[in-house]
Every structure is written in structure tokens, then in C-alpha cells.
Amino acid sequence: MTRTYKVKEVLLRDLPEDRHRLWDILDKEDSIRILNKNPKLKYCREHYPDGLGTRKFDKLCEMNFGYDDRFDVVGYSVDAKGKVLRTWANKYSDYDYVSPFGSRPNEEGDQVCESVHWPPTAVGEPSKLLHNMYATNGFYWS
């Protein structure tokens, strides 16, 4: 016999508006490891995997931090035990790449709606998210 269920209500944790949505992960952050110090790099994509199954740097490199080959990891953060909490990466960082539309990657990084400013401002702080990039090119806390 198969039962049919319907969701009647969803309860969400009540967080203050000025609190980042992933503050629980940020509270555990102990250090940020920067892999790319290119001064031209200004933007990248940020992900919160909260663990990748290994703490060994060579294994993280071998698995490209969980990304496919199109991504170039520029930094990652860890907790006190070495667990990967956040990663920053550029998609299509191969500057010889030309899209089917003829465009090339931006040397300043991934400038898309989910981009964040690189490098991070501080350990345990949310990244500055690129907001309304076509109008103001400003950053704000995500």
C-alpha cells in the first residue's frame, strides 16, 4: 500500500535580517587558503559545500574540490579540523577558451549574477556578492 502525503505547512528557522543565511557554516570557519593571488582577479563563484569527504590537500586537488574540469579553484576555507567549508572558483578560466558565440573568458574572473568579490574580506565573514552588475557594478553582503 502506497500512502499519499501533502505538505500543509513549512516552518523555517527565524533568523534576524542582518544575519547571513549560512552563518552556521561561517561560524565554524578557521582559515581561508588562497590558491590564486593574481591581482587582475576580481570576481569568482562561491559555494558552501560544508565538507567534501576528504581533508587531504592532494586528494582535494585530484578531485578538483568537487568541480568539473571547467572550474579553476582559487581558494577555499576550512574549519579547525581541516574540513572544507567554502570554495571559490572560476568557471571557464582557460583563457584560450572561446564559446560557441565567440566570447572569451574575462581575465578578471567570472562576472555573472552569482559572482563574489575576490579575495575574501575576512575569515568567518560573508563574501561581498556582485549585485546588479549591469547597472551599478556594486557589491553588497549576500
Q: Encode pLDDT of 55-103 as tens digits.
A: 999 999 999 999 988 888 999 999 999 999 999 998 877 666 666 777 6
**Is pLDDT of 128 > 50?**
yes
Q: Which amino acid is at 114?
A: E
Which runs of consecutive H residues, i.e. helices, occur in the chain? 23-28, 57-62
Task: Return the higher-pLDDT residue of 22 and 135.
Answer: 22
**Is pLDDT of 132 > 60?**
no
Alpha-carbon gap, residue 66 to 71, rounded angstroms? 10
* pLDDT digits 0-9 by tens, 8-67: 777 665 656 666 677 888 889 999 999 988 888 888 999 999 888 889 999 999 999 999
